[in-house]
Chains A and B, each alone.
Chain A
């Protein structure tokens, strides 16, 4: 049974796809009554509460098994609201389990099945072949223009593509007819989450019957701002149609990284509909996967995270909670450098050292986290190898990489169901040991350490293959080597080397760059393209000396680009920023842009992206309408100058190198 979509309303509706390509979709309904487990404090009031609950719900005594222990409790067939009442009635002294698990996910896990594959054994497979029909839609105008939709593009495959034009009712009517006729399983559409509610509203106005949903029903995901890795993000609201996968290709992180195979893999791992996984963050996905695995193994999942860490002396906390290890580089240019990169270091540590909340107190047992992460880690190792020969696996590899990256951070996340700060600290402790010991191995082998950060070392010396072998033997984690002809570590403001800003030429002739202006999201295309052109020119230099002799050519490119600012289109000067707040104390470009958006009836929330062109940087005046006003060219020249400074630093250091005759 290949389940395309699953919906929990009164029961569970499964949208099942026929096995062959082009086969139809059918819907089957299954009874499902939500239930949860709980324990109560031992007092007379608890007996009264049980008696009261028995009058309204089916309730039975049961054994509750968590990752830590087993104990007696109750199981009740009741909705979540009842759990909240029990909590309040017991002054938060009751313990509740399996309250907030999605119905369809629990349905799959309890039956040991998953969506998006016909056989549970294919769950961890690297398959990119699916029995799905896919169409792509695109509305060639900005959603925020609020103009009638007079044109849209569609594409079913390479040969069947076209556009629909006409008045808005004609376009919408034709769109619904097209969807009805082609009956696609998947609709890929940029900004679908913005457009779909609008299309449905406008269709209602014209008395048109839409065909996005296969039964006319939709689920609604509410929009909200949230914190992620110290940044405010915004997840927009969405309408999710029943029985058909609609992916917002502009917003979906999972689709952007993994494509459709990546989305379907996440569905199989987490036991959730592709409609949801395409809208979830990697953190929610890895959490979903852990929840699915726990339910499948009959483990109860706590509703509230109320188990605190043990009290510790302050001086002990200072030494135990220190994060990843870093060796600071000296800002300079270096020749013939190797980068040794540990593959999935943190998840490997979880698995190798059996780190899980329950193993902190019972180290002898096999922990829940290592058990569930091991197959994902093995799958990543496989995709990392396979993608070199089969590029279609790259998407799956990329999404697995992200799931494994966030699984570490998730252990320290306050609401993580299977997180524990002790596990988080143990992981970083082991990672520090591994990096320090690897550095020592390298030094014993005669290598010079240039830089090191968390799971990476930059070294100079030979033979690197022997060093790789020694480090892997010690750490029991695979590594990857990249070889640079030359590499530049840029300075921080105080002149010392930056940990994360560097660029260099790999022996494959590719320029690898991190943290430079062209990599930043808020850099206008004009500056990004100019710096990328400079990097492109630098590719021809295979040594520091050759780079030095390129200086006049590079400076000429820079000066030419500086003059070209006046001929740039407004699109190339657009600055895109994600706002973390909408309340600003001082005047700045973001505050001016937000005010302008408000004037246009677009209300910005923290985590949303805004775009603007700076028209006067002294007064922080901006334009949000492309084509309006005159850009402040001097402002854009200054950004270009900063991009040039990064290149110029390398050239100056190369010059010193040349003068010293190295």
Chain B
């Protein structure tokens, strides 16, 4: 089964996908896609979620489980029976004792992808995300293009006033 997370990204059941992108892209996909409403969709967050509060109320009919420890994450992944499993990566789960389970979490993600479309998502690259995504079948990196607002000062010198993310100009590397 195939789903579109983004016009440029197709995800498939039976595969483990790892995605790094600005949150706006994922939020837009979840808020506007009917496909996530049609299938059993499990959203797994960690101690903090940067996306959940941005999801519209009217698309709230999907399941959420919060993993506060790496060991809870392992249990959730082992028991998940959903068609799409979306894991918002929280590196703090792997602080301290949790670091010993990193390898096992990577295995559990790969194992869950035998029957589901598994998506591991992070806003930014970090050590634990890289480790987990090593066993992914597909890795997507969205490189944000920053726009610069150029203002001429009285002195004639140019100064960059603001940098902001331009969604339409995001570049995808697979």
- B42 contacts A by Cβ under 8 Å: yes
Contact A415 B52 (CB under 8 A): no
Contact B64 A308 (CB under 8 A): no
Contact A314 B55 (CB under 8 A): yes
In the bound assembly, the distance between CA atoms of A305 and B72 in angstroms comes to: 7
Contact A306 B57 (CB under 8 A): no
Contact B64 A313 (CB under 8 A): yes
Contact A318 B57 (CB under 8 A): yes
- B47 contacts A by Cβ under 8 Å: yes
Residues of B within 8 A of A414 (CB): 47, 68-69
- B159 contacts A by Cβ under 8 Å: no
- A309 contacts B by Cβ under 8 Å: yes
Contact A311 B68 (CB under 8 A): no
- B28 contacts A by Cβ under 8 Å: no
Q: Which of chain B's residues 75-99 have a Cβ closer than 8 Å to chain A?
A: 75-76, 97
In the bound assembly, the distance between CA atoms of A287 and B123 in angstroms comes to: 34
A314-B76 in contact given A304-B69, A305-B68 (Cβ < 8 Å): no
- A317 contacts B by Cβ under 8 Å: yes
CB of B59, distance to nearest CB on chain A (Å):
8
In the bound assembly, the distance between CA atoms of A414 and B55 in angstroms comes to: 24
Contact B72 A314 (CB under 8 A): no
Interface of A is mostly: loop
Total count of chain A residues near the partner, CB < 8 A: 22
User: Interface centre among B42, B65, B68, B72, by most A CB within 10 Å?
Assistant: B68
Among listed A84-92, A345-353, A500-508, A649-657, interface-contacting one: A84-92
Contact B64 A92 (CB under 8 A): no
Q: Which of chain B's residues 134-164 have a Cβ closer than 8 Å to chain A?
A: none
In the bound assembly, the distance between CA atoms of A88 and B103 in angstroms comes to: 10
A314-B100 in contact given A305-B71, A306-B71, A421-B66 (Cβ < 8 Å): no
Q: Which of A304, A305, A307, A311 contacts B42 (CB 8 A)?
A: A311
Q: Which of B55, B57, B69 contacts A415 (CB 8 A)?
A: B69
Total count of chain B residues near the partner, CB < 8 A: 27
Contact A314 B47 (CB under 8 A): no
Residues of B within 8 A of A91 (CB): 104, 107
Q: Which of B57, B65, B97, B104 contacts A315 (CB 8 A)?
A: B57
Q: Which of A305, A314, A415 contacts B43 (CB 8 A)?
A: A314
- B61 contacts A by Cβ under 8 Å: yes
Contact B100 A88 (CB under 8 A): yes
In the bound assembly, the distance between CA atoms of A311 and B60 in angstroms comes to: 13
In the bound assembly, the distance between CA atoms of A91 and B43 in angstroms comes to: 24
Q: Which of B60, B61, B66, B101 contacts A92 (CB 8 A)?
A: B101
Contact B69 A315 (CB under 8 A): no
Residues of B within 8 A of A317 (CB): 64
Contact A314 B61 (CB under 8 A): yes
Contact A318 B60 (CB under 8 A): yes
A306-B74 in contact given A414-B68, A415-B69 (Cβ < 8 Å): yes
- B131 contacts A by Cβ under 8 Å: no
In the complex formed, the residue of B with least CB distance to A416 is: B68
Interface string of A502-519 (1 = CB under 8 A from B): 000000000000000000
- B67 contacts A by Cβ under 8 Å: yes
In the bound assembly, the distance between CA atoms of A189 and B72 in angstroms comes to: 43
Contact B75 A307 (CB under 8 A): yes
> What 5 A-B pairs come out closest when comparing CB atoms?
A315-B60, A306-B71, A414-B68, A308-B72, A314-B60
28 A–B contacts from the bound complex (CB under 8 Å): A84-B100, A88-B100, A91-B104, A92-B71, A92-B104, A304-B69, A305-B69, A305-B72, A306-B71, A306-B72, A306-B74, A308-B66, A308-B73, A308-B75, A308-B76, A309-B65, A311-B42, A311-B63, A311-B64, A312-B65, A313-B64, A314-B43, A314-B61, A314-B64, A317-B64, A318-B57, A414-B47, A421-B66
B binding-site residues for A, Cβ under 8 Å: 42-43, 47, 52, 55, 57, 60-69, 71-76, 97, 100-101, 104, 107
